[in-house]
Amino acid sequence: MSAGLLLVGASGLVREVLAAGITGVAGILDDDQTLHGSQIDGIPVVGAVSAATDRDESLLVCIGPSASRRSVVRRLAKSGVGLDRYATYVARSARIGRTSTVAPGSILLDGVVVTADASIGHHVVVMPNCTVTHDCVLDDFATLAAGVALGGSVRIRGAAYVGMNASIRQGVEIGRGATVGMGAVVLADVPGDRTWAGVPARELEARG
């Protein structure tokens, strides 16, 4: 693998990562052809996502929505891109406890605090000023929006999304693909693929 890094997705998240001070970026990949040849914060958009298979820089998928991020990673996997290609980005102002782990592909932005014995999976995005306390587990492709606070031993299942400034009580599980609304206070387990919001959080009824 050569030196350098390619950011995948010309998104708001890519601008967040650049603003946080990431270094060594060789270019950005995005499927929107109208962006090819343009720049984002001085970094050129050098081609489509598929170009990753023809290059050998490390990759960091900067796509905000969990399901979309997962879709791109799966697509690249089918083209032969393995886990060893993915970088991890932890902003300099983030604090990661020495007994906690962060898997490749994940992004932790400014002001994030991860304390003791937490486990952060692959391609997780933790936006600024989140708090992840002891024994929490964030499965692959989970997303925490800015200001989320997790009590101890919270489990965020794969591709779940927790909205801005939400708080999750200790020991609670957020199911796979679930959505927690911004500002919610979650006191009980949230089933997979459901949307909960409010204080205390309750399931939102689907609208016909």
Active site residues: 134
CA–CA dist 102, 132 (Å, integer): 12
Distance spanning both ends of the chain, measured CA to CA: 50
The amino acid present at 32, given as its one-letter code, is D
Are the CB atoms for 4 and 26 separated by under 8 Å?
A: yes
**Is position 64 annotated in a ligand binding site?**
yes
CB atoms within 10 A of CB 92: 8
Burial of residue 54, with CB atoms counted within 10 A of its CB: 0-12 exposed, 13-18 middle, 19 or more buried: exposed
Binding-site annotation, residues: 64
Binding-site annotation, residues for substrate: 64
